[in-house]
Amino acid sequence: MSEQCVLVLRLAAPLQSWGGPSRYNRRDTQPQPTKSGVLGLLAAAEGRPREAPLADLLGLSLGVRVDQPGTLLRDYHTVSDYRNLPLPSAKVDASGVQKKTSPAKYTHLTQRYYLQDAVFIVALRGPTRLLQGLEHAVRHPVYPLSLGRRSCPPTGPISFGLRPDAGLRDALAEVPWQASAHRRRQIRGPEVTLEATVEDPSGELLVEDVPDTFDLKTGTAFGQRAVHRLWITLPTDREATGETVLSPGAQAGHDPFSLLGW
């Protein structure tokens, strides 16, 4: 096998959440997997401690194809103590015990954002020996794998194997469309065009999602990387008929659900 290869992953789940610099009471999600999130998944698969160095993983180039963008979900929480006591703050005293909020706070509001029913193809390019080890780890993970948050386990196997001598774009273009049956029914033609991004030093977009560490004691600072945005056209495996296909139960001339893609 060559010195460089590409590891291909399929990331699909009822819920995913790919955060970045957002913190505290509002945790956003990016519209596609972040480098921080993907590297965290790989580190968990290998069983790396949170304080372990990430230099070898940071050297991997990342490509993402959006097979099914999903929809945005907001999870709104109110938190209070059933004994009507003030909530603890994030600060601790000299003995490590959490301090009470001052002034006293009895209700805590949080918002968490998720992607529902999204499907992504992720490609990572780097040294063959490193990616061989990561591919084995993804198939036999030390820690349970999750897609951005621990509450988001993946649906089905993640690894789609290794591609020797492949570039990121070529690897992303080789994998058949992975959308759900419901999404496939919405695309009526013989081809579908999918959004993708590939890591490229000359890319036109800057993304702030490169972690320096996963150590909880120090916290994570995020660096930037350049990416190139592109479009990949794949067959849908549906024959082109030239006919207008109506949604089930719709009457010709009036299809109110067509605006929703149903």
90 or 21: which carries more pLDDT confidence? 90
Q: State mean pLDDT over 173-186.
A: 94
Q: State mean pLDDT over 135-141.
A: 95
d(CA 247, CA 155): 28
The pTM for the full model equals: 0.82
Mean pLDDT over each residue of the chain, to the nearest integer = 87
CATH of 4-72+114-260, picked from 3.90.1330.10, 3.40.1380.10, 3.40.50.10190, 3.30.70.2660, is 3.30.70.2660
The strand pairing partners of 78, in sequence order, are 109
- On the question of pLDDT at 249 being above 50, the answer is no
Count the alpha carbons within 13 Å of 140 in the hemisphere toward its beta carbon.
Answer: 3
Q: State mean pLDDT over 70-77.
A: 92
- On the question of pLDDT at 187 being above 50, the answer is yes
Residue 160, both tokens = 């789609």
Per-residue pLDDT at 207:
93
Q: State mean pLDDT over 122-137.
A: 97
21: pLDDT confidence band, cut at 50, 70 and 90?
low
All structural domains of the chain with their residue ranges = 4-72+114-260
Q: State mean pLDDT over 108-128.
A: 94
Per-residue pLDDT at 124:
98
Per-residue pLDDT at 94:
79
- Closest among 218, 210, 208 to 51, alpha carbons compared: 218
Residue 27, both tokens = 């945790």
218: pLDDT confidence band, cut at 50, 70 and 90?
confident
Per-residue pLDDT at 251:
44
Distances (CA, A) of 63 to 10, 171, 202, 262: 12, 9, 14, 30
Is the distance from CB of 68 to CB of 186 less than 8 angstroms?
Answer: no
58 or 166: which carries more pLDDT confidence? 58
- On the question of pLDDT at 77 being above 50, the answer is yes
- On the question of pLDDT at 137 being above 60, the answer is yes
Q: State mean pLDDT over 99-105.
A: 84
122: pLDDT confidence band, cut at 50, 70 and 90?
very high
20: pLDDT confidence band, cut at 50, 70 and 90?
low
Per-residue pLDDT at 23:
67
Is the distance from CB of 4 to CB of 131 less than 8 angstroms?
Answer: no
Per-residue pLDDT at 248:
41
Q: Where are the beta strands (DSSP E) in 21-143?
A: 26-27, 61-68, 71-79, 88-92, 98-100, 108-127
39: pLDDT confidence band, cut at 50, 70 and 90?
very high
- On the question of pLDDT at 219 being above 90, the answer is no
Residue 142, both tokens = 């030390």
